[in-house]
Structure 1
Amino acid sequence: MAFDLLQRRNEKFVLWIPGAAQTHAPLLVLGTFAAGSPAVFNPVCTVSLCNSDLLDLWELDPNSITPPLQNNTIYYYYFEITDTSSSNLGTFLVTDPLAYTVDYRVTNSRDEAVQPAAVIRFRDGKLWPCDIDGNEPPPVLIPTQDAIPDNNKVVIYELPTSWARYKTVGGVQVEAGTFTDVLALFDSTTVGDRFSDIPSIAHEAILADLGTNVLELLPAADAKPLDQWGYATAHYFTPDYDLGSSSDLTKLVEFIHGMNISFFTDVVMAFGHDPYGYIAFDQFHLDPNAEASNPDSYQCHSEGMRNGWGGRLWRYIQNTNGYDPQSGKTVNIHPAWSFHQGHLHRWMSDFGVGGLRLDCVNNIGNYDFLRTYKEAAWSLYRSRYPSASDAKFLVIGEELSVPLDLITGGTLNALWNEPFQGRLRAVILGQNVGDNFEWTVRKMANCTLDSDYPFTDGAQVVNYITSHDTEGTGFGGYQKERLYNFLDDNGVIDVERRAKLAFACFLTAVGIPMIFAGEEFCDQMDLPMSSKQSDPVNYERKAEDWRTRVFNFVASLVNLRKNCPALGGNDTQFIHTDKSRGGKIMAWQRGGQDQAPVVIVANFSDEDTPGDQYFVENWPQRNRNDWREVTQNRNVPSEWVGNEPLMHWEAKVYTYWREI
């Protein structure tokens, strides 16, 4: 699918400034780069851009520059603009908002007002996107449709690249991993980059062993901060400078595609730290305090104002007659809508994005935009295949208030299921949330039973035990931290047993399971619980014996969740509640009438079942001799089917389904 503005930038330097009357023509400041300490930007020329025949579009043919540009040369450039927006009147040296590569070495600064240079190669009379080393990565090869998991068989791995290792002398060393470090989690022959000295990264393939079939990176677009997780997006069209190049990301995505693993990315569109804050603020951004009467200043599902969290809120209720970046025609557009659809086109076309997670959708504040963005994403997905399946692509919204009308109204495909986390964490402590204990378990196991949030299908729901929102009391705290810390804070001594119970419930529940990186081996927080932006993933811990046992337990259930048909639908029957033990021993069955069932038997109490046997009533097809217990990978003798004892805080998962 064509996107006019992105095609034009192959032929010319292009700057789109919608609806802003320019008193001075923008200037192209072009130079070359010399590495060193300090690095040097060598100016080549400063040339005025020309107003094209299309309103709002400024262009410059690189072949018109005098003296002529050198063929096959990498150039660094800025735009110098005079911003007429009410908030920022003045002249600024800014990064190209459409830059595919930026380089911070030119300024050696991450200050909000200091812009990195954009990077481009001039070759054969055209402009070619390239990495800072000059490599020109081709678009990611798109996998066959058969290689993409169906939405109801997806298991997401949510990965920040903020990782930790212990220093030799005390303390914790925290650093951002790279795309190559992520690749090392899948490929045992890749030793990693910054974490090549950690055996579990250099010599293992943790995520290949775990078996999740979606990698969801926290925002992979460029953000300036070094010690955060990418939610301060500054350059929407370029992979994060600190994580690696476009070539590195392409290599990672193509490798996991070869493993039938999809690539999802996180996108932040409530606020930005982008160059348009200096180029055309009033067209793209707003200050809600200065526009209290503007509906665009307020969140959806709330009377509260939108929050920029240190960035500039995107302005979505803004009509401008001018150049349409997608069609190339002069029409009435919403500038911010077009900008975000532009980088959507870039990421899906060049990096093979197979699904999206949209951050804080209430704070975006505009359902019409969200619906249009989702539809654009689906159009790009469908353009890949002659007959695209509707069951193999998702646009997911994150909003902890769970605004279900985003699903029922067709605005998004799925939502984070925040109530699941609260219910699961309660039941593994033997507690209930709102309802009695039995109904807390029922609604945890099957989200379609939740009358407050009546989802109709598991593919509409993303469940999680833990997410990257692990911060302290300001965001809920205490119940939000990593599972290990949650259990420790609640006085649980046997973390291994309780963690396995949590994962047995989680990976067999109706809905799409999302594992936050490190939870599969019960990682714990290395830094004080104050911010999701700083707590890293410590893969060194996976080598500890008990954590390895948890990891293997989780991996066995991930494999079942991906492949067993009974876990792909919504059918759930509760077959046993032991009233004699306060309802704290329950069993439920997953799967439809014609499917091999999965039966979960869970003991949410401090007491083992008495004797050598524990009879579970209503067990399906009890007389079969091919039942097995999944987490221990053992066959169950026919006389023990539905009759095995349970230890305290233990869950067992049974089925007679076998992989073909």
Structure 2
Amino acid sequence: MAFDILERRREKFVLWIPAQSAGAKYPQLILGTLDLGPPATFNKVFQGQLVTSNQPDLWELDPHDIDPPLEDGKIYHYWFEIEDTSADSLGIIQVTDPIAYTVDYRITQTREERVQPGAVIRFRNDKLWPCDIDGNEPDVVATPAQDAIPDNNHLVIYELPASWAKPKEIGTVEVDVGTFIDVLALFDLATVGDRFSDIPAIATEAILTDLGINALELLPAADAKPMGEWGYATAHYFAPDFDLGMASSLVKLVEKIHSQNIRLFSDVVMAFGHDPYTHIASKQFHLDPRDEPTNPDSYQSHTNQLRNGYGGQSWRYIQNTNTYDPQSGNPGNVHPAWAFHRAHLHRWMSDFGVGGYRLDSVNNIANYDFIRAYKEDAWALYRSRYNSSSDAKFLVIGEELSDPIDMISSGTLNALWNEPFQRRLRAAILGESTGGDDFGWTVRKMVNCTLDSDHPFTDGAQAINYITSHDTEGFRKERLFNFLDGNHVTDIERRAKLAFACFLTAVGIPMIFAGEEFCDQHDRPIAQKQVDPVNYARKTEDWRSRVFSYVSNLVRLRKECPALGDNITDFIHVDASRGGKIMAWKRGAPNHAPVVIVANFSDDETPGTEYFVENWPERDRSDWREVTQNRDVPREWVGREPLMHWEAKVYTYWK
């Protein structure tokens, strides 16, 4: 599916400036080469005006019109020089190409907002080719066989931030960015890593292959200026983050995970940006809600609060302009911000094989029509790529913590983060109730999100469940270890295993925040999520390694067992004699081999040598097994095994 402006950039330097002010200075191209030094220096070889194209508001420059002529095979760095349209305009400014596929900070050596990195391009065979900073031209991710793509209702997503940590000295840690090569090392024994190659768990293991997840969600991988953070200050939407590595490394990572039948989910920030259009055509693309109190575009959906730019500029979504349409290539009535975001959607899906999206803070995007159009474009690209009409192998997820189900029922999104799940699970593993429910209903709604009358999901593939997410600040949102420790829990390993047993067998798509699979803990103050890293060195600790093994067993069950891929849940046992704190439930439709979970949410062990669970299905079978301990259950002990305190056991005869 062609996108016109992305095709044009192969032939010419292009810059789209919708509704440019009359009398504004013509944009200019500044182009040159990089001398690595040290220090790195820019050698300008050309500066000249772009010219109007055959489309309104589109400026172009044919590389063959540049004098001196460009050298075949040469790598060039370039900027556009324009009149700054931002509120704090300082006149003329050099900006990065808004659709640059590669950016390079080595020249500027600063991350100041107004100082923009150069875009990188290679001139070869009379065309302009995307390339890495070393001149390598990245391949396009090959399309995997569709039958190898996991279905949505059997996904286990791994949410991975860029910020990682490693021990430095006793009691201290060093924080750095884990690059695409470091991520590759989590899946590939032959890759020792990059900046974290001195951590044995990365250099000598393939942790995420061992864990068994089948979807990797990279927190925003598009370029952001801040270093060592989570990447939510997106500046260059078409370029992989400079600090994470080159596009070729990302392609290598995606090819590797595809070979293991793992989908790539991309996290995208479209509520606000730090992009070049804040200077190029700011009033067309962005707004300051405080300056436009009568504009409905200034307000969040589901609240009466102003949209928040979090240091960036809110994208303007209610804006019609008669201009060049970057998608069709024809003049028309265009929403500039819509077109820009749909363009980078095409770039990431076509070049990097993205197999699903998570849209950040959709309430702060605050425009259902745009979100629906973006989702529909993503689905059209998926179906074009695979020539498929399957609804089971692609997903567009929104983050809105009030869980507005109308975003799903209206077709705006496919799924939402299920924020109440986290509250219910954390209450349950302390033996508490929450949300005005008694303990029994706290557990029931946790286990089966379709029972939540306030947020009535109708299918498990609509709900993204999590014990912890990257939003670790706030009441009961910190990492699981710190939550349990802060509540004076002494048997953290046991409670963590109970949490994961409930989590990985519940209705909904489980999402594991990186490090929780071995009970990582905060290396920075909990309120500072932007600098709290993942510490993979902790995975080697004995008890944490046991948690990891426990979780990996359940991950494999979750992604493969048919009973955990549907919504059917029957609560077969509630022990009123113990305050309802021992419960058992069965997952799976009648045509599936069931999964039975028996959980003890109390300090007391069951008395005697056996504990009888009433209503156990097919009790006389001889092929039941207990999953978490990988053991067969003798026929005479089916539905009769005792429980330790704060313990869950998971049974099935599915092979």
Q: Distance in 2 between matches of 1:412 and 1:170?
A: 45
| Residue matched to 1:124 | 125
TM-fit CA distance, 1:530:
1.6
TM-fit CA distance, 1:66:
1.2
Question: 1:577-592 maps to which residues of 2 (within 5 A)?
Answer: 577-592=574-589
TM-fit CA distance, 1:347:
0.2
Q: Distance in 2 between matches of 1:610 and 1:276?
A: 68
Task: Determine which of 479, 488, 492 is the counterpart of 1:491.
Answer: 488
| Residue matched to 1:440 | 442
1:15 aligns with 2:15: yes
| Residue matched to 2:328 | 327
Q: Distance in 1 between matches of 2:395 and 2:375?
A: 9
SS at match of 1:195: coil
* Matched AA of 2:104: D
1:560 aligns with 2:562: no
Question: 1:514-533 maps to which residues of 2 (within 5 A)?
Answer: 514-533=511-530
Give deviations 1:217-259, integer Å, cap 9, x for gaps.
0000000000211000000000000000000000000000000
| Residue matched to 1:305 | 306
Contact preservation (8 Å) 1:263, 1:354: yes
Q: Distance in 2 between matches of 1:211 and 1:506?
A: 16
TM-fit CA distance, 1:386:
2.3
| Residue matched to 1:645 | 642
| Residue matched to 1:174 | 175
| Residue matched to 1:373 | 374
SS at match of 1:336: helix
**Unpaired segments of 5 or more residues in structure 1?**
none
Give deviations 1:346-401, integer Å, cap 9, x for gaps.
00000000000000000001000000000000000000122231100000000111
| Residue matched to 2:2 | 2
TM-fit CA distance, 1:87:
5.8
Q: Distance in 2 between matches of 1:24 and 1:254?
A: 45
TM-fit CA distance, 1:599:
0.1
Contact preservation (8 Å) 1:88, 1:281: no
Q: Distance in 1 between matches of 2:15 and 2:608?
A: 77
Contact preservation (8 Å) 1:20, 1:84: no
Q: Distance in 1 between matches of 2:194 and 2:388?
A: 40
TM-fit CA distance, 1:85:
5.9
| Residue matched to 2:569 | 572
SS at match of 2:403: coil
Q: Distance in 2 between matches of 1:452 and 1:226?
A: 40
TM-fit CA distance, 1:82:
1.4
Q: Distance in 1 between matches of 2:232 and 2:153?
A: 28
1:137 aligns with 2:134: no
Label 1:620 to 1:274 Cα distance change in 2 as closer, same or farther (>3 A): same
Give deviations 1:140-159, integer Å, cap 9, x for gaps.
00111011000000000000
Q: Distance in 2 between matches of 1:268 and 1:152?
A: 25
Contact preservation (8 Å) 1:181, 1:195: yes
SS at match of 1:528: coil
| Residue matched to 1:260 | 261
* Matched AA of 1:414: A
**Unpaired segments of 5 or more residues in structure 2?**
none
Give deviations 1:76-122, integer Å, cap 9, x for gaps.
00000114566637211100000000100111010011000000001
Q: Distance in 2 between matches of 1:327 and 1:226?
A: 36
Label 1:481 to 1:84 Cα distance change in 2 as closer, same or farther (>3 A): closer
1:615 aligns with 2:616: no
TM-fit CA distance, 1:625:
0.5
| Residue matched to 1:453 | 455
When normalised by structure 1's length, the TM-score is 0.98
Question: 1:209-608 maps to which residues of 2 (within 5 A)?
Answer: 209-433=210-434, 434-471=436-473, 476-477=474-475, 479-608=476-605
Contact preservation (8 Å) 1:288, 1:305: yes
Let me know the Cα RMSD of the aligned residues: 0.9
Q: Distance in 2 between matches of 1:436 and 1:88?
A: 57
| Residue matched to 2:99 | 98
TM-fit CA distance, 1:415:
0.1
TM-fit CA distance, 1:138:
1.7
Q: Distance in 1 between matches of 2:44 and 2:282?
A: 28
Label 1:169 to 1:611 Cα distance change in 2 as closer, same or farther (>3 A): closer
Q: Distance in 1 between matches of 2:72 and 2:64?
A: 10
Contact preservation (8 Å) 1:160, 1:517: yes
TM-fit CA distance, 1:125:
1.1
Q: Distance in 1 between matches of 2:116 and 2:344?
A: 19
SS at match of 1:625: coil
Moved more, 3-12 or 86-95: 86-95
Contact preservation (8 Å) 1:496, 1:547: yes
* Matched AA of 1:559: R
Task: Determine which of 625, 630, 634 is the counterpart of 1:628.
Answer: 625
TM-fit CA distance, 1:169:
4.9
Q: Distance in 2 between matches of 1:619 and 1:138?
A: 54
Contact preservation (8 Å) 1:31, 1:41: yes
When normalised by structure 2's length, the TM-score is 0.99
TM-fit CA distance, 1:528:
1.1
Give deviations 1:536-568, integer Å, cap 9, x for gaps.
110111111111110000000000000000000
Contact preservation (8 Å) 1:145, 1:388: no
Q: Distance in 2 between matches of 1:319 and 1:94?
A: 24
SS at match of 2:144: coil
Q: Distance in 1 between matches of 2:472 and 2:85?
A: 41
Contact preservation (8 Å) 2:361, 2:398: yes
* Matched AA of 1:18: P
1:61 aligns with 2:62: yes
* Matched AA of 1:181: D
Q: Distance in 2 between matches of 1:625 and 1:69?
A: 76
Q: Distance in 1 between matches of 2:41 and 2:414?
A: 48
Q: Distance in 2 between matches of 1:24 and 1:520?
A: 56
* Matched AA of 2:551: V
SS at match of 1:237: strand
Contact preservation (8 Å) 1:21, 1:84: no
Give deviations 1:399-443, integer Å, cap 9, x for gaps.
111111100100000000000000000000000012000010000
Q: Distance in 1 between matches of 2:87 and 2:555?
A: 53
* Matched AA of 1:439: W
SS at match of 2:639: coil
Moved more, 524-533 or 176-185: 524-533
Contact preservation (8 Å) 1:87, 1:281: no
Q: Distance in 2 between matches of 1:511 and 1:24?
A: 54
SS at match of 2:505: coil
TM-fit CA distance, 1:21:
2.6
Q: Distance in 2 between matches of 1:386 and 1:359?
A: 28
SS at match of 2:348: helix
| Residue matched to 1:183 | 184
* Matched AA of 1:141: A
Give deviations 1:282-317, integer Å, cap 9, x for gaps.
000000111111110000001000000000000000
* Matched AA of 2:243: D
SS at match of 1:608: coil
* Matched AA of 2:379: W
| Residue matched to 1:157 | 158
Q: Distance in 1 between matches of 2:276 and 2:57?
A: 16
